[in-house]
Structure 1
C-alpha cells in the first residue's frame, strides 16, 4: 500500500516533527550506523531548535498584530470596551542562531539517508515521525485538480498540487485559453506542483483561463478541474 508524505503541510506541525526527530534520533544512531557527531545530525538539531523558535515567535507576533489592530480600530471608532494586551514581542534570551536556508530540503535528505541504512525499520521510522500513514487510493473517476492563479510580474503562476495522492498519479496536464478564439489548447505536462506560464502578456487587456486534469501513464484520469481565469496585459 502507498503511504502519505510524512512531511506535514503546516509549519506548526513541521516544527513538531523536526523536534521529535531531534529528540529521538540519538537512541537510533548506533543501530543505523551513524556517528553522533555526524554533520547532518548536528545540523538537524540546530535546524529543529531554530525553526521551533521562529514558529513560536511568529505566533507571538501575529497575536500582537491582532491586538494592535484592535487598539487602532478602538481609538479610531470608539467602542464599549477598550482592548487590552498591546505588547511588542521581543526575542527571548538564548534565541537559537540563524541556520542556512533550506531546512525542509536538508531534513528530507537526512531522512532519505536514514531510511537507506541497513538496519532501518518501520518501527524506527515511527519513533522518528518519518513514516507516513498507509493511504488508500483515490477515486480516479472523480478526482479533480484544484488550480489557483497569481500574476507575478510578467508571468502567471498556476498553483496546483497532488492533494496527497502523488503516489497514485504521474503528472498534470494543463490547458490554457488565451481569449484569442482558439479555445483551450495544450500548455504543458507538469510533474512538479506549481507551474509558471511565461508566455508574453498581451498588449491589451485579456482574460486567460486555465484548466487541468491528472494523468496516469498515457491516460487522463478523473475529471477536468474547474476553469479559473485571470486578467493580464494592458
Structure 2
C-alpha cells in the first residue's frame, strides 16, 4: 500500500451515495481496503460500536480507529495518504471546494429527498428549490470540466451522487430537473464525471438501484400515509 499504511476497512451499503463517494476516494488513491456490506435493517454489532452516534454508514476503520461521515472520511483519506491529492493545495481553492461541498450537502440532498418522498405542493416546492440550487451550480461550472478545473477533486466526489442517483430519483419519483437546455454546464459536468474510469467502474448496477429505490419510496410513502390516517 502507498503512504499512510495500515489496515483499512469500509463499512457500507451498496446503494448508498455517501458510501460510494468514499470508495471513489479510496480508489483514486489506490488504497487497498476491505469492504464490509451492512444490512441497515439489521445493523451489525461492529457498526453500532464504531459509529454509536448516528449508527449509519459509511464508517472507515483505519488501524482500528473509526471515522464517520463521508466528507470527514474523504478529508481524512486525503490527509493520511498524500499522493494523488483530492483537495487543492492552494488554501483559497481548498476553501472553495469545501464551500461547494457544504452548499450541495445542505441544499441539494434535502431538496431531492423531499421531491422523492413527498407528493403534491410539498414535492413541487422541493423541485423548484432544487432547480434554483442546480442553477447556481451550473453558473459555477461555466467553462469548466470539473469544479476545480480539469481534474476531478473533492467537490466532484461530494456532488457526484447527483450525476448518478439524481436521474434515478427522477425516474422513480416522476420529476425532472436535469435539463441540458436549462443547465448545460451542469449536464456537461455529469457526463464528464460519469466517464472518469474510477467513477464509471465503481457505480452500482442502475437497474438494481432503480428497483431498490422504488421499493424504498413505496415503503416510505406508505408509512407516511398510514401515520396521517391514524393522526
Higher helix share: 2
| TM-score of Structure 1 vs Structure 2, range by shorter chain | under 0.3
Higher strand share: 1
When Rg is computed on C-alpha atoms for both structures, the one with the higher figure is 1
TM-score (normalizing by structure 1): 0.23
TM-score (normalizing by structure 2): 0.23
